[in-house]
Every structure is written in C-alpha cells, then in structure tokens.
Amino acid sequence: MANPNQDARDARGHYVRTPETAARDARAAELRTQGLTFQQIADELGYTHKQSAADACRRALRDIVKGPAEKLLALHVERLETLYEKALEVLEADHVVVSHGKVVTMADPETGEEKPLKDNGPKLAAIREARATMESFRKLMGLDQPTQVSVSGAVRYEVVGVDPTDLT
C-alpha cells in the first residue's frame, strides 16, 4: 500500500501532516498497544520501514499530550496578560503620598494653591511588575535567544625552581 499522502507537501517540499496521516498515526499507536511489533505495524499499514511505524507511534503520543499542553500554555498566557493589564492600571493611575493617614500636600509655586504631593513609588513598582511579567511571557513562549559564551585564550603552566631537562 503506497502512502496516500505522498503529495501532501508544503512550498519547501516537506511533508505536511493531514487528517489522514494523523488517523494513520493513531491506528499505528492502537496496533502497538495491542502488542504488535513495529515491523508488524509497518506491514499492516503499508509503511516501508519499521522505523516509520515507530515514528508514527511517537507522533500519535505527541498529539495526545499536545492538546492538554496547549490548554495549559493558553491558561498561563491568559494569567500573564491579566497581570500585565493590572500593572498597567496601577501605572496609569495617579498616586498621592499619605503620611499618618493624611494626604501630604504641597503649595503650587505658581498659584500658591495646596495640591496633593504625587507618589511615584507605585508607578515604579508597576513598571517592575510589567517588566517581570513580560520576561515571564518571553520565557514561557521560548522567545529569548540562548546566551552565547565565547572563550578564547590559552593557559600556560610553568614549574618554578625545576630544571626542564630534569623532567624528561
């Protein structure tokens, strides 16, 4: 039996997973749970090699885990978005200094009118939280570039007080 999806390729010539191949992978996994060897599965489903049957079983297992994993990822993304929105609310609000339960005021230099003294502490804390939330989002989504370390140079050992000719 030839591969019914051999023409399912993308623009780069790579095979594209179709509903038919997903069903075939699921069938391979089902046969594996019934105790068939990979060679028997390959013979039954028309795979050219037993490794293709093993790959199909792995893809089927990955599909089983993928659904719940995507739901969990979406939940974490939603939570991070909520935290970010709350941090922005704090950032956009006006905050005043309160001391001993009273709003601290200061005279406006131009008008002499008493105005509440603004407190930038909550805004700075909201900025830190927004930044931390964005860092968590980047880590969760795998968007950060891996750190590359470049090491160069050499180490030279010198034994002091010993004649090198005595070492040979």
Structure tokens at 91: 């950032």
- What is 88-139 written as a DSSP string? HHHHHS--B-EETTEE-EEE-TTT--EEEPB--HHHHHHHHHHHHHHHHHHH
pLDDT at 163: 77
Quote the percentage of the chain above a pLDDT of 70: 93
Mean pLDDT confidence for 6-19: 73
- pLDDT tens digits for range 66-117: 878 888 888 999 999 999 999 999 999 999 999 999 999 999 888 999 999 9
Mean pLDDT confidence for 11-18: 77
* pLDDT above 60 (res 2): no
Structure tokens at 50: 């037993």
Mean pLDDT confidence for 118-139: 94
Structure tokens at 88: 């922005």
- pLDDT tens digits for range 22-32: 899 999 999 99
Q: pTM of this prediction?
A: 0.53
* pLDDT above 70 (res 1): no
Q: Exposure of 57 by Cβ count < 10 A (0-12 exposed, 13-18 middle, 19+ buried)?
A: buried
